[in-house]
């Protein structure tokens, strides 16, 4: 990796998708600013971009499913991360490839998901810091998580 690369961009980040549902309409967004923060109780921090449909839904409902995206799913980054749910119906695009855990949708092909409930919402500059309690989790399949390194190597992101 080039020495011109910013230090925080040198470390591969796992690609997640945060699924939120309001009034039966599903939205999913790509998240890379995600990290476990405590062990007991289990909490995870998610950076949620301001003004997005996911931001609106997550703030309104206080819950979502954080999905681990696999290397077999890089095509999702363009649809879920480079398009806004405010202008693009992600629910219609994804309808045939989702299942439900209670009222929350998840991609049937994802590696697994974590059911989150908002604990603390901290407003920040372009992404809010959302500290979440882990309600439950489920591994769905074996596989390698998609990372920012993979996306750079395949020219999906810069």
pLDDT at 89: 74
Q: Identify whether 119 is part of a domain.
A: yes
Q: What is the CB neighbour count within 10 angstroms for residue 23?
A: 7
Residue 87 lies in a domain: yes
Is 1 inside a domain boundary?
Answer: no
User: Nearest 5°: phi and psi at 126?
Assistant: -105, -20
Neighbours of 124 (CB within 10 A): 11
| The pLDDT value given to residue 87 | 67
Domain that holds residue 24: 7-153
Beta strands in the chain (DSSP E): 16-22, 25-31, 34-39, 42-49, 63-68, 98-101, 104-107, 112-122, 127-139
Residue 5's pLDDT is: 83
Q: Is the pTM of this model over 0.85?
A: yes
> 137 lies in a domain?
yes
How high is the mean pLDDT in each 10-residue block of the chain (158 residues)?
81 94 90 96 96 93 98 89 68 81 93 98 96 98 96 86
Q: Residue 62: which region, alpha, beta or left (left: phi > 0; alpha: psi -120 to 50)?
A: left
In a domain, 158, yes or no: no
Q: What CATH code is carried by the domain that includes residue 149?
A: 2.30.110.10
């Amino acid at each position: 990796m080039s020495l011109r690369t910013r230090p925080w961009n040198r470390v591969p980040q796992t690609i997640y998708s945060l699924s939120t549902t309001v009034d039966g309409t599903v939205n999913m967004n790509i998240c890379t600013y995600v990290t476990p923060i405590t062990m007991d109780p289990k909490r995870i921090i998610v950076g949620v971009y301001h003004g997005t449909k996911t931001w609106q839904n997550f703030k309104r409902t206080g819950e979502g499913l954080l999905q681990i995206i696999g290397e077999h799913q890089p095509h999702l980054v363009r649809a879920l991360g480079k398009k806004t749910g405010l202008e693009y119906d992600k629910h219609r695009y994804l309808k045939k490839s989702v299942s439900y855990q209670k009222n929350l949708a998840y991609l049937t092909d994802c590696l697994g998901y974590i059911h989150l409930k908002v604990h603390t919402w901290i407003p920040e500059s372009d992404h809010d810091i959302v500290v979440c309690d882990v309600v439950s989790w489920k591994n769905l399949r074996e596989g390698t998580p998609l990372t920012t390194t993979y996306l750079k190597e395949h020219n999906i992101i810069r």
